[in-house]
Amino acid sequence: MSAGTALGASTARLRLSRYDVVVERGDKVWVHNGLSGRIVAVAADEWREVGLFLAGESSRASTEILRELTVGRMIVADDLDELEVLERRYRAGTADRSSFGLTIVTSLGCNFDCPYCFQVKPSEVLDAETERLLLEVLDEQLPTIRQFEVTWYGGEPLLGKDRIYRLSEAFLERCDAGHIAYSASIVTNGYLLTRETAERLRACRVGSAQITLDGPPESHDLMRPLKNGRPTFDAILDNVVESASVLPIAIRVNLDASNSGEHERLLDLLVDRGLSGRVTVYPGRIVAYDEGIGAPSESYRPTCYTLPEFAGVERDFLAQARARGLASTTLPQPISTPCTAVRVNELVVGARGELYKCWDSVGNHHEVVGHLRSWKDPNDRALKWLHYDPFTDEGCRSCIALPGCMGGCAHHQMIDPGDSKCSTYRLTYRQQVEEYVAAAEAAGSGAGPRHPLLPIVTVNT
Ligand code: SF4
Ligand code: SF4
């Protein structure tokens, strides 16, 4: 059936979405849409017919193709304000009270002394009063929420692992009784994540762990030493090997000019230890800043990458990781909000019950927004996070990355206005979609990646 007869004159005018990325390869055209997160492949000659249809000319574009492209939001009504759609998504996400989120610092103290660390870290472990208050706050939330999400955080959270076990038990009891969906994850340096600990965490329904390895031993041990200066690489890698079958592990590799070019050796070491296909690895950009609190990061600035530099390094890193079965081929998925800091019903709880909005603020007394005792009544410092608004930023409003980024890192925008808040998709979106398409084609021929791809709609008529 052709659109000329099926959808022609009576159909409202349609156009391509502003969030489409179109990649032509051989006799196919791939169209990715950031707002839906979907990707559609059509024959090149069909795509030409779609173009004629959108131009209001006589066209043989099939109804099936037009339907797929419309469902995937690649084609939208001419008068649709896509920014308004995103803005409504953002406002609903920031104001959502059906979900409750806590980031809990079980130990602000840390066993490491990383030179780029943005925290000052006195040896504080979550105290008994804060444990009690956490349960009180959850009890107040239970009647109105459908889900409860916890991130165990530090300093080094496993220095307070007994608190994780105790609180998890109490959280699970309450959520299971109230039929509330519970999920948890942990951000840890990995040094204390033995297999036994991983098993305890899994029993606590911790669903994933993020661990950091900053290169092969020579560079990692310089960037992430113990407090006494001793190395940590071997212990962490042993733990990852032992725990990877217990707990999904994502390895973050922080990159800057000081460990540039060394990640390939790290990736080879991971393969040698049998971690191919068992962990995922991704690069992180070190952003150092000075908030006048005496954190190590305050003197670390000179070696950090700019966003464009990092965007290039990231592509190279991921290509090498994918080739070794250590990374998946993904594209940014649409989100409603960028992070916990801008969501009204989420809190970051320090070891003494003090509250923050942003992970980066933990331990910074200038950024305390209140206390668990009076959690419903934060001070004015909370407002700068809750009022963060990418829809007042002309750069975000015109940015193709907006659906998957939603304004990026509010903290980075506050301390260093410009592009430090940004997703690299803004700079490398075409390359990212092309890489994705190449992986999808390879998967179709049986030579693809081991990790699942987005569902791809291939329309053949
Ligand atoms: S970056 Fe993390 S592991 Fe390193 S010193 Fe800071 S809190 Fe500890
Ligand atoms: S990439 Fe940068 S400009 Fe684009 S939406 Fe994200 S924060 Fe805004």
The domain boundary, picked from 304, 325, 354, lies at 304
Q: Which ligand is nearest to the CA of 359?
A: 1
- Would the CB of 112 count as within 6 Å of ligand 1? yes
Q: Is 156 in the pocket of ligand 1 (CB under 6 A)?
A: yes
Arithmetic mean of pLDDT, 255-269: 91
Ligand closest to 210 (CA) is 1
> Is the shortest distance between the CB of 119 and ligand 1 below 6 Å?
yes
Mean pLDDT computed over 322-350? 95
Residue with tokens 């989100």: 335
Q: What contacts 108, CB < 8 A, 6 or more positions away?
A: 119, 121, 122, 123, 124, 125, 154, 155, 350, 351, 362, 363
- 425-430 LR contacts (CB < 8 Å, sep 24+): 425/331, 425/332, 425/400, 425/401, 426/399, 426/400, 426/401, 427/307, 427/308, 427/311, 428/311, 428/312, 428/314, 428/315, 429/21, 429/400, 429/401, 430/21, 430/23
Query: Domain for residue 42, yes or no?
Result: yes
- Whether ligand 1 lies within 6 angstroms of the CB of 164 is answered as no
Question: Does the pLDDT at position 137 exceed 60?
Answer: yes
- The CA 82 to ligand 2 mean position distance, Å, reads 16
| Ligand 2 within 6 A of CB of 401 | yes
Domain boundary among the residues 304, 326, 353 is at 304
Residues 362 and 440 in one domain: no
Ligand 2 centroid to Cα of residue 283, in Å, is 19
276 and 204 in a single domain? The answer is: yes
- The token duo for 234 is 């071997």
Give the pLDDT band of residue 302 (cuts 50, 70, 90). low
Within a domain: 298: yes
> Ligand 1 mean position to 224 CA, how many Å?
8
72 with 22, same domain: the answer is: yes
Confidence of residue 248 (pLDDT cuts 50, 70, 90): very high
> Is there a single domain that holds both residue 281 and residue 153?
yes
Q: By three-state DSSP, how is residue 420 classified? A: coil
Domain annotation covers residue 310: no
For residue 11, name the pLDDT band (cuts at 50, 70, 90): low
Measured distance CA(56)–CA(42) in Å, rounded = 20
- Ligand index nearest the alpha carbon of residue 389: 2
Long-range contacts of 296-303 (CB under 8 A, 24+ apart): 296/113, 296/114, 296/115, 296/116, 296/117, 296/118, 297/115, 297/116, 297/117, 297/118, 300/115, 300/116, 303/256, 303/257, 303/258
The ligand whose atoms approach the alpha carbon of 409 most closely is: 2
Would you say the CB of residue 390 lies under 6 angstroms from ligand 1?
Answer: no
What pLDDT score was predicted for residue 259? 85
Q: Is residue 118 part of a domain?
A: yes
Which pLDDT does position 288 carry in this prediction?
A: 74
Give the mean model confidence (pLDDT) for residues 379-394. Answer: 96
The answer to whether residue 165 sits within a structural domain is: yes
User: Among 394, 400, 402, which residue has the most ligand 2 atoms within 8 Å of its CB, making it the best to mutate?
Assistant: 402
Our answer on whether the CB atom of 154 is closer than 6 Å to any ligand 1 atom is yes
State whether 150 and 130 are in the same domain.
yes
Q: What is the reported pLDDT for 167?
A: 98
- Does residue 218 share a domain with residue 137? yes
**Residue ending a domain, choose from 280, 304, 328:** 304
Cβ of residue 198 lying under 6 Å from some atom of ligand 2: no
Give me the chain's average pLDDT, please.
92
Q: Give the pLDDT confidence of 84-127 residue by residue, as tens digits.
A: 999 999 999 999 999 999 999 999 999 999 988 988 888 999 99
Smallest CA separation from ligand 1 atom 2, residue: 155
Kindly give the distance from the C-alpha atom of residue 403 to the centroid of ligand 2, in angstroms, as a whole number. Answer: 9
pLDDT of residue 301: 63
- Ligand 2 close to Cβ of residue 405 (< 6 A): yes
**Domain match, 178 and 241 both:** yes
Looking at per-residue confidence, does 399 or 442 come out higher?
399
Does any domain span residue 335?
A: no
Residue 314 lies in a domain: no
CA 155 to ligand 1 center in whole angstroms: 6
Domain count, the chain: 3
Residue 109 beta carbon below 6 angstroms from any ligand 1 atom: no
Q: First vs last Cα of the chain: how many Å apart? A: 10
Q: How far is CA 244 from CA 240, 254, 274, 323, in A?
A: 6, 20, 10, 20
Distance (Å) from CA 116 to ligand 1 centroid: 8
Would you say the CB of residue 110 lies under 6 angstroms from ligand 1?
yes
Q: Would the pLDDT of 75 be above 80? A: yes
Shared domain check, 402 and 442: no
21 and 36 together in one domain = yes
d(CA 321, CA 328): 8
Same-domain check for residues 150 and 279: yes
Rounded average pLDDT over 406-415: 94
Q: What is the pLDDT of residue 452?
A: 39
The CB of 110 under 6 Å from ligand 2? The reply is no
3-state secondary structure of 307: helix
Cβ of 188 closer than 6 Å to ligand 2, yes or no, is no
Percent of the chain with pLDDT over 70: 93
Is the pLDDT score of 417 beyond 90? no
pLDDT at res. 443: 82
Closest C-alpha residue for ligand 2 atom 3: 396
8 & 139 share domain:
no
Q: What is the CATH number of the domain that holds 158?
A: 3.20.20.70
Task: Please give the distance of CA 180 from its chain centroid, rounded to a whole number.
Answer: 24
Give pLDDT, residue 327. Answer: 95
pLDDT at 202 over 70: yes
* Ligand 1 centroid to residue 45 C-alpha, Å: 54
Mean pLDDT of 406-433: 94
Do the bridges between strand 280-285 and strand 249-255 make them parallel or antiparallel, or are there none, so unpaired?
Answer: parallel
User: Does position 446 have pLDDT exceeding 70, yes or no?
Assistant: no
H or E element at residue 154: strand 147-154
SS3 content of the chain, % helix, strand, coil (to 5): 40, 20, 40
Ligand 2, closest atom to CA 406? Answer: 5
Cα 420 to averaged position of ligand 1 atoms, centre (Å): 21
- Quick one: tokens of 65? 């193709």
- pTM of the shown model: 0.92
Answer yes or no: do 262 and 122 share one domain.
Answer: yes
| Beta carbons of 127 and 372 less than 8 angstroms apart | no
Q: Which atom of ligand 2 is nearest to the CA of 425?
A: 1
Residue nearest to atom 2 of ligand 2 (CA): 422
Q: In this structure, is residue 322 part of a structural domain?
A: no
Weakest mean pLDDT among 20-29, 196-205, 211-220, 298-307: 298-307
Give the domain extent around 181.
97-304
